[in-house]
Amino acid sequence: MILQQKRRKRPQPFIIKDKYFHKAKKEGFRARSVFKLEEIQKTFELIHPQMKVCDIGAAPWSFMQFIKRIIKEWGLLIGIDIKKIDIIWWKNIYTLVHNIFEYDTLKPKIREILWSEEKFDVITSDIAPNTTGRKDIDQYASVELNIEILKFGDEFLKKWWNLLLKVFKWEDFSDLTKEIKKRFERFIEYKPLACRDRSFEEYVICINKKD
């Protein structure tokens, strides 16, 4: 008798199907993360019509969907993610598949889109490393990514303007705050309601770039 082999199910990524998940589906957003940015925007008003915005760690693009609605067709939006992009949008929306750590090859791609010495009015980031379940390791990886984004901002963010970071914060993260203080007049730590209670992610709004 031939025994039929049972098909093994592939492990699926864990998706939280809470009220934000259903709201995102209903409103046509690609991820529930959009409601974190929506709350941050209501509180801090970082993005305005016609702005030039760069969104880092952008896939699956729900932040970009939200930002696009604010900047309208007169603004400019560039989204960067290491993951492949499957969106076709307007002439003022660009997406780059790139690792943020590979700055030397990323820089000319951004310069190709921006005019000569132009810079962004705001940079948003929702970047997240692959998590290991070890909160100390995950925090370390998240801080490394954010320091890279601060360096990106050194060149590409306008003076006096703002940058939004997401960080996994488990214990003291002075490695990151030290770098923020060098570059910005002040910063505010903020945890939107859409971040789950158990989650150790929070956002850091870096205000008024010094140089």
The catalytic residues are 166
> Judged by CB, which is closer to ligand SAM: 83, or 178?
83
> Judged by CB, which is closer to ligand SAM: 41, or 181?
41
d(CA 46, CA 162): 7
CB-nearest residue to ligand SAM: 57
Binding site for ligand SAM (CB under 6 A): 30-31, 33-34, 57-63, 80-83, 99-101, 126-129, 145
Shortest Å distance, C-beta 211 to ligand SAM: 25
Shortest Å distance, C-beta 165 to ligand SAM: 12
Determine the 3-state secondary structure of 89 from DSSP.
coil
Shortest Å distance, C-beta 48 to ligand SAM: 19
Reference 123, options 94, 93, 96, 150; nearest CA is 150
Reference 142, options 129, 132, 123, 133; nearest CA is 129
d(CA 46, CA 51): 10
DSSP letter for 116, please.
T
